[in-house]
A and B are shown apart, each in its own frame.
Chain A
């Protein structure tokens, strides 16, 4: 009996180990939280096409989590072939660890960002608190749900969107500080990541407005079965999540060509169309035109409008003891 169990166990070990058979190629895509469905769809379209043209079997594994956490894992040795994180500094942190070559932003078109996104509002059905624009969300009695800017890309962009919504419309930095102080004073919880705060808003039914990624908002409406709806603010932040090949890893594994083909695929009409279907804004104008109904007009300002550079934005707003720390006190 013991022997049978042991043999069964070894067999199982072997069956799991054999996943990395010799002639088949495996890519690992390390990404951020709200892109699971997108990449699953992209993989389903890319894999058969690639197998036909390259003649090797290809498998693509996905790993998802908070953008910063994921970057950290790659730096610590998670064997990613490509990283598709939420924001530029996370990808650049991997470059600083010498795993991605310098100049990665120029390796793919449009600063290596195949799509853009923004932060929108999700409110309860019928918009009972009548939320239309940024000033509405800090009205007395409105509770806001959004993730922690310290740990989450969504959280960072929510903060930057709120800040810029003031300064880009003529407000001073002092006005912006007063606005975000009020805003984060009305957040009952700060979750670690985008999916966490979606759960808080939809399942736990906490809060009146959820500041979230545009694509996540659509998924949320779908999942909540009409119990929530999207409100597009007139102004928000322009997010351009970049993609990159992790050069050190693909060199070691010999997966460079496949990784490049994979990311190139995102820029094809087919890839752009899949991106648009998942409510990420495609950069290809033709594809965007075909999907304009999905993407209402939002005036989007780049992060460089409210900071000198991404590194500067990180430090100025989210650095230890900087703007966010200066006013945010966790709720008791």
Chain B
């Protein structure tokens, strides 16, 4: 290898573009972010509060259908998150700890909900649970409601957000490795004991990060939920559906008031996410450091 390629000066030159290019790139990035993200976000709050605080709260709390949509979202999102914690931990555990045939396939399948359009997910569910679908007639005969009711909303949301928790945990668990768990088992820990006292403390920040991200996605989910909701006002309208409905009913302040709640959620998520990201990164680094030190010893 020619040694000129690795002199510090060349490296610096390769890493640093001329100031004009740098400024132009940074300005473009900031401009795009400003136009696409900051302005609309500020506008949501501006529109929501344009009629004053009283109208804002009246719009949020005075309309029973809106209030119901908030409640419904607060039921559907946590239920979906709960399901995904169980699935996510189980899937991450299986993938990070075991080598088995079909492991690569499972990894690919976990990402499927990200790749498929949410509307298609909704249609899947209609095909399964709809009256013309596989299970629909049986469910109807037993008077069990799945689609066009809360269970359908939860399933749709859980399905769409399914990869979030698992995706967070797999790299974390792979990086941490199984050493501590093996140690725990060799010292006589039972499965559950080991999970609770060794695995869980190790992954808790990553898990929390996954939960928060999952919750944000779950609350904002529109496409899949729109298909299975049936759009019954005051019954199966979640917050994003309610926003659309209010918007279409010419109730701009109302639509923006609900939108502002969703937007606030996004901002809070972003802040918590950044904090947790920092925490997981330092955990990962610590794990890597320990591993390399262990290797040297």
Contacts and interface: CB of A to CB of B under 8 A. Distances in A.
Contacts of B140: 77, 252
Given A9-B75, A79-B148, A61 B235 contact: yes
B147 A63 contact: no
Interface string A35-73: 011000000000000000000000001111100000001
Contacts of B126: 76
Given A62-B232, A223-B250, A13 B147 contact: no
B75 A16 contact: yes
A77 B147 contact: yes
**Interface SS majority for chain A:** helix
Interface in B121-138: 126, 129-133, 136
A75 B232 contact: no
Interface string B245-264: 10111100000000000000
B150 A16 contact: yes
A15 to B, nearest CB: 7
Interface residue tally on A, bucketed by range = 20 to 34
A61 B74 contact: no
Interface in A72-125: 73, 75-79, 97, 99
Nearest to B133: A76
B154 to A, nearest CB: 11
B71 A78 contact: no
B269 interface: no
B131 A76 contact: yes
B40 interface: no
A62 B75 contact: no
A79 B145 contact: yes
B235 to A, nearest CB: 5
A210 interface: no
A64 B231 contact: yes
Given A16-B71, A63-B232, A97-B132, A76 B147 contact: yes
Contact of A15 (B71, B234, B245): B71
Interface string A217-239: 00100010000000000000000
B47 interface: no
A61 B71 contact: no
B217 interface: no
A99 B136 CA distance: 14
Nearest to A70: B231
A13 B68 CA distance: 11
A63 B74 contact: no
Contacts of B247: 199
Given A9-B78, A12-B74, A36-B249, A77 B231 contact: no
Contacts of B249: 36-37
Given A9-B75, A61-B233, 6 more contacts: A16-B75, A19-B235, A33-B248, A73-B148, A75-B132, A77-B131
15 contacts: A16-B75, A33-B248, A61-B235, A62-B233, A63-B230, A63-B232, A63-B233, A64-B231, A64-B245, A76-B130, A76-B132, A77-B132, A77-B136, A77-B147, A79-B148
Report, nearest first, the 5 A-B pairs whose CB atoms are least far apart.
Answer: A77-B131, A76-B130, A195-B248, A78-B230, A63-B232
Interface of A: 9, 12-13, 15-16, 19, 28, 30, 33, 36-37, 61-65, 73, 75-79, 97, 99, 195-196, 199, 219, 223, 252
